[in-house]
C-alpha cells in the first residue's frame, strides 16, 4: 500500500534542506536502505516531499532524491553521536533524542563524495554512512519545555513554565537554532491564562528579552493550561499554540564527560564518530516508555492489541498537552496498520471493503496528527484523533481478534 505524503499536505518534519553538519558512521554492508524521497531544493519550499521524481508543486524546480532516516542523537549536539536506540549522550549525559537526518555514503579519504547507495571506495575500502542535518529534522525541546513548529514551516517555538511564575518562549529557526536577533525583533504575541480570581481569560503581552519572549503569570494550579497567540512578522495573523504543564519546566541536566570532550578537535565541523548502540534505558533515563520503538508483532491479534495501546497513548499525550510527542505512537500505529494491510486477503470480501479504506484513513490521520502535533493546535489535534480512532474501530471490526 503506497501513501503519498504530499496528498495530505504534510508540511512538517521531513522537509528538504542542504546538508549542514555531517558525521561518519558504520561502514555500509548488508543493510536495509531507507526509502528514496524526492525533495525540493528551493529555500522556502522545504515542505515539499514526494515519493516519486518530478517537479516541485510550488516553484517548479526538479525534485532531488534523498534518503531520510530517524536516528537517536544528543539533543545539544545533534549528529555528533548517532544511535539506533534510545540511551544517554556520552558527551553530556542527557537522554538521546530522536531526529530526522539525511543519509548518504562517502569515503574517508574523499569526504566530498556523496552517494545514495553504499558501495566501494576507489582504494577498495567499503564506503561509510554519513548523516546530515535537515531542516525540521530536530523538533526536540532544548530547555525542558514544549516544542512547536509555526504554520510557515520555518519558525519554531518552545514554551517553558518556570518556578518563578514566568512563561518563557524560546525562538528558533528551521534547524532548531536560536533565532537571529533581527528576526526575533519582528515577533509579537500575547499569552492567555485563566485569571485566578474571576476565572476568565486574561491576556498578558509577551515581552522580548534577547532571543526569547516572556510573560509573568504567577503560580498557576497544575496542570497549568495556557495558550500563546504569536505573529511572526508585522501584519501577520496570530497563530495559536496551546500549552499544558504538569509541573515546572526543568533545564536538562548536563554531566560533562571530560574524556569525550577532550577528544573533540577544536573545529567547527564535528569529527567522524562511529555509531553507538546504547541499551534501552531504564526509568531514570528520562525517555518516556511510550516513545521507545517496538517491533511489529507477527500475529493479527497481537497487532490489534498494539494498535489499541498506541491509540490510548495518543489520547494520553493529548490530555497531558504533550503534543510534540504524539507523532511517535501515531507513526507506530501507522506501521501496524500497514502490517495489517498485508493480511487483508485473509478476510472475506465484505470485510476487505471495510478494512482497506479504514487502513488508508488511519495512515493519513497519523500524518495529520504528526503535523498538528508540531503546530500545537489542540482543536486540530482532537479532530485528527477522532478520525484516527474511528479508523481504528473499523479496522478492529474487520479484523476480529482470534484466539
Give the integer Cα–Cα distance in Å for 132 and 139: 15
pLDDT surpasses 90 at 93: no
pLDDT surpasses 50 at 350: yes
pLDDT of residue 249: 93
In terms of domains, do 373 and 336 share one?
Answer: yes
Domain boundary among 229, 245, 261: 245
pLDDT surpasses 80 at 259: no
Q: Confidence class of residue 380 from pLDDT cuts 50, 70 and 90?
A: confident
Mean pLDDT on 244-256: 79
In terms of domains, do 153 and 131 share one?
Answer: no
Q: Confidence class of residue 42 from pLDDT cuts 50, 70 and 90?
A: confident
Cis peptide before 223 (omega within 30 of 0): yes
Instruction: Work out whether the CA dihedral 336, 342, 348, 349 comes out positive or negative.
Output: positive
pLDDT of residue 285: 40
pLDDT surpasses 80 at 91: no
In terms of domains, do 160 and 113 share one?
Answer: no
In terms of domains, do 385 and 347 share one?
Answer: yes
Q: With contact defined as beta carbons under 8 Å apart, do 356 and 343 qualify?
A: no
Q: What is the total count of domains within the chain?
A: 3
Mean pLDDT on 149-158: 84
The answer to the question of residue 214 being in a domain is yes
Domain boundary among 194, 221, 245: 245
Mean pLDDT on 194-218: 89
pLDDT surpasses 70 at 368: yes
Give the global pTM.
Answer: 0.53
Q: With contact defined as beta carbons under 8 Å apart, do 72 and 87 qualify?
A: yes
Highest mean predicted confidence (pLDDT) among 37-46, 149-158, 299-308, 323-332: 299-308
The answer to the question of residue 238 being in a domain is yes
In terms of domains, do 131 and 161 share one?
Answer: no
Alpha-helical segments (H) within 224-326: 258-263, 300-320
In terms of domains, do 85 and 193 share one?
Answer: no
Q: Confidence class of residue 241 from pLDDT cuts 50, 70 and 90?
A: very high
Q: Confidence class of residue 86 from pLDDT cuts 50, 70 and 90?
A: confident
pLDDT of residue 355: 93
pLDDT of residue 186: 92
Least confident of 176-185, 290-299, 362-371: 290-299
The SS3 assignment for 339 reads helix
In terms of domains, do 123 and 193 share one?
Answer: no
The answer to the question of residue 236 being in a domain is yes
Q: Confidence class of residue 286 from pLDDT cuts 50, 70 and 90?
A: very low
In terms of domains, do 166 and 115 share one?
Answer: no
pLDDT of residue 322: 83
Domain encompassing residue 71: 5-138
Give the integer Cα–Cα distance in Å for 287 and 289: 6
The answer to the question of residue 220 being in a domain is yes
Highest mean predicted confidence (pLDDT) among 7-16, 281-290, 308-317: 308-317
Give the integer Cα–Cα distance in Å for 366 and 332: 9
pLDDT, tens digit (0-9, with 9 covering 90-100), for 22-34: 344 444 444 567 7
CA distances from 179 to 115, 150, 206 (A): 32, 13, 16
Round the CA-based radius of gyration of the chain to a whole number and report it. 22
In terms of domains, do 131 and 164 share one?
Answer: no
How many angstroms from the chain centroid is the CA of residue 374? 8
H/E element, 342: none
Give the integer Cα–Cα distance in Å for 97 and 66: 22
Highest mean predicted confidence (pLDDT) among 43-47, 177-181, 280-284: 177-181
Q: Confidence class of residue 279 from pLDDT cuts 50, 70 and 90?
A: very low
In terms of domains, do 130 and 162 share one?
Answer: no
Q: Confidence class of residue 270 from pLDDT cuts 50, 70 and 90?
A: very low
CATH number at residue 317: 1.20.120.290
Within 8 A by CB and 6+ apart from 212, the residues are: 168, 169, 170, 171, 184
Mean pLDDT on 156-184: 91
Q: With contact defined as beta carbons under 8 Å apart, do 99 and 78 qualify?
A: yes
Give the integer Cα–Cα distance in Å for 82 and 23: 8
pLDDT surpasses 70 at 118: yes
pLDDT of residue 43: 66
Domain boundary among 214, 245, 276: 245
DSSP character for 118? -
Residue that the C-alpha cell 543519509 belongs to:
103
Beta bridge partners of 368: none
> Of the candidates 103, 109, 101, 110, which has an alpha carbon nearest to the alpha carbon of residue 129?
103
In terms of domains, do 368 and 314 share one?
Answer: yes
- Specify the higher pLDDT residue, 18 or 122: 122
Give the integer Cα–Cα distance in Å for 320 and 317: 5
Mean pLDDT on 222-242: 92
The answer to the question of residue 304 being in a domain is yes
The answer to the question of residue 128 being in a domain is yes
In terms of domains, do 301 and 344 share one?
Answer: yes
CATH number at residue 223: 2.60.40
Number of helical H runs and strand E runs in the chain: 6, 17
The answer to the question of residue 250 being in a domain is no
Please report, to the nearest 10 degrees, the dihedral formed by the alpha carbons of residues 278, 280, 282, 287 taken in order: 90
The answer to the question of residue 266 being in a domain is no
Highest mean predicted confidence (pLDDT) among 53-62, 79-88, 95-104: 53-62
Q: Whole-number mean pLDDT of the chain? A: 77
CA distances from 8 to 63, 182, 352 (A): 18, 34, 24
pLDDT surpasses 60 at 373: yes
Amino acid at each position: 500500500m503506497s501513501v503519498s505524503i504530499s496528498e495530505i499536505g504534510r508540511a512538517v518534519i521531513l522537509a528538504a534542506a542542504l546538508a549542514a553538519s555531517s558525521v561518519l558512521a558504520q561502514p555500509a554492508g548488508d543493510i536495509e536502505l531507507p526509502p528514496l524521497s524526492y525533495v525540493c531544493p528551493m529555500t522556502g519550499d522545504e515542505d515539499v516531499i514526494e515519493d516519486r521524481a518530478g517537479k516541485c508543486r510550488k516553484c517548479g524546480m526538479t525534485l532531488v532524491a534523498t534518503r531520510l532516516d530517524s536516528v537517536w542523537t544528543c539533543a545539544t549536539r545533534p549528529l555528533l553521536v548517532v544511535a539506533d536506540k534510545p540511551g544517554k549522550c556520552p558527551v553530556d549525559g542527557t537522554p538521546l533524542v530522536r531526529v530526522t537526518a539525511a543519509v548518504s555514503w562517502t569515503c574517508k579519504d574523499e569526504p566530498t563524495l556523496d552517494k545514495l547507495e553504499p558501495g566501494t571506495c576507489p582504494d577498495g575500502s567499503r564506503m561509510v554512512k554519513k548523516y546530515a542535518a535537515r531542516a525540521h529534522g530536530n523538533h526536540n525541546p532544548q530547555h525542558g519545555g514544549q516544542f512547536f513548529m509555526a504554520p510557515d514551516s520555518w519558525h519554531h517555538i518552545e514554551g517553558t513554565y518556570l518556578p518563578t511564575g514566568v512563561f518563557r518562549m524560546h525562538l528558533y529557526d528551521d534547524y532548531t537554532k536560536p533565532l537571529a536577533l533581527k528576526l526575533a525583533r519582528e515577533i509579537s504575541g500575547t499569552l492567555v491564562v485563566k485569571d485566578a480570581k474571576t476565572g476568565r481569560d486574561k491576556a498578558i503581552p509577551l515581552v522580548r528579552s534577547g532571543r526569547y519572549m516572556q510573560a509573568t503569570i504567577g503560580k498557576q494550579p497544575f496542570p497549568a493550561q495556557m495558550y500563546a497567540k504569536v505573529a511572526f512578522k508585522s501584519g501577520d495573523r496570530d497563530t495559536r499554540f496551546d500549552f499544558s504543564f504538569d509541573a515546572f519546566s526543568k533545564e536538562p541536566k548536563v554531566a560533562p564527560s571530560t574524556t569525550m570532550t577532550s577528544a573533540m578537535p577544536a573545529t567547527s565541523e564535528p569529527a567522524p564518530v562511529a555509531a553507538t548502540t546504547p541499551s534501552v534505558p531504564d526509568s531514570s533515563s528520562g525517555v518516556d516508555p511510550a516513545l521507545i520503538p517496538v517491533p511489529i508483532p507477527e500475529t493479527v491479534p497481537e497487532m490489534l492489541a498494539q494498535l489499541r495501546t498506541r491509540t490510548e497513548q495518543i489520547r494520553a499525550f493529548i490530555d497531558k498537552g504533550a503534543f510534540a510527542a504524539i507523532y511517535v505512537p501515531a507513526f507506530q500505529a501507522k506501521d501496524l496498520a500497514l502490517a495489517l494491510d498485508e493480511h487483508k486477503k485473509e478476510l472475506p470480501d465484505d470485510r476487505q471493503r471495510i478494512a482497506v479504506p479504514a487502513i488508508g484513513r488511519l495512515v493519513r490521520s497519523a500524518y495529520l496528527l504528526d503535523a498538528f502535533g508540531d503546530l500545537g493546535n489542540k482543536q486540530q489535534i482532537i479532530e485528527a484523533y477522532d478520525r484516527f480512532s474511528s479508523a481504528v474501530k473499523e479496522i478492529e471490526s474487520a479484523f476480529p481478534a482470534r484466539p
